[in-house]
Structure 1
Amino acid sequence: MKFDVKKLRFNDQGLLPVIAQDHNSLEVLMLAWMNAEAVQRTVDSGKVTYWSRSRQSFWVKGESSGNTQNLVDLRFDCDQDCILVLVEQNGPACHTNRRSCFYTAVREGDEIELMQPE
């Protein structure tokens, strides 16, 4: 069956959350947003393309930084309102120059930084 982006359930702003995960290590790298066109661009090009809510424009991951995300697999959840992209991550995923945006944990009530910038 051919994928149809219209089957996805976007929120009132026409967006849905996207979790990026490294396809080898399965490390969760980041969370961002896509609209229908960003989903279709990602599927068509193999380059993960997000929708920037702050800039109100498309954002091909790594276009300016070189820290690209090549699409390995695109999945959506049972409610069709969230996407998981398994990616080949080249360089850090986070704009803070860390491998993952999820570099802070709370352990026994203390905030702990799990990784330093690369």
Structure 2
Amino acid sequence: MGWLDEITWNADGLIPVIAQDAMDGRVLMMAWMSRGTLETTRDIGEAVYWSRSRQRPWHKGESSGNVQRVRDIALDCDGDTLLLQVEQAGDVACHTGRRSCFYRTLDGDGWQVTDAVRRNPSEMYGGTNDE
């Protein structure tokens, strides 16, 4: 039994992945990986996710330059979620131009934006939010 067989993949052959800043612990984003993208991530040392909308591998930073260099890959106790400790290039992980995709917090009955845009998405994607 290989290391990939110890993972509990969902019905689509994917596993949810949390990317966390290796330096300060901030949760940057959540994405999905397939067997192939997880193997590639391990092999090249940079995060490669599975894009469910495009149905293809997505090398984080391929169009924005905001690459995630992987420092550690951990599997949770149930074997159904991964945690990546990453070094985030450009200090922007979210396609909205923010450091984290988790930039809204619940305040009473509404969502409050807590992180400012650090880089205009059109500068990263040429007018599309494609990452």
Which has the larger share of helix? 2
Q: CA separation in 1, counterparts of 2:111 and 2:41?
A: 35
Is the contact made by 1:6 and 1:36 (CA closer than 8 Å) also made in structure 2?
A: no
| Residue 57, structure 1, aligned to residue 56, structure 2 | yes
Structure 2 residue aligned with 1:44? 43
Q: CA separation in 2, counterparts of 1:30 and 1:59?
A: 14
- Structure 2, unaligned stretches of length 5 or more? 119-131
Structure 2 residue aligned with 1:75? 74
Structure 2 residue aligned with 1:6? 5
Cα deviations by residue, 1:30-58 (Å, 9 ceiling, x for unpaired): 00000111111111110100000000100
RMSD over aligned CA atoms reads: 0.9
Structure 1 residue aligned with 2:87? 88
Q: What is the CA-CA distance between 1:116 and the residue it aligns to?
A: 1.2
Q: CA separation in 1, counterparts of 2:44 and 2:110?
A: 42
Give the 4+ runs in structure 1 shifted more than 6 A.
Answer: none
Three-state SS of the structure 2 residue aligned to 1:75 is strand
Q: What is the CA-CA distance between 1:107 and the residue it aligns to?
A: 1.6
Q: CA separation in 1, counterparts of 2:111 and 2:57?
A: 33
Q: CA separation in 2, counterparts of 1:12 and 1:110?
A: 33
- Structure 1, unaligned stretches of length 5 or more? none
**How many residues of Structure 1 are paired with residues of Structure 2 in the alignment?**
116
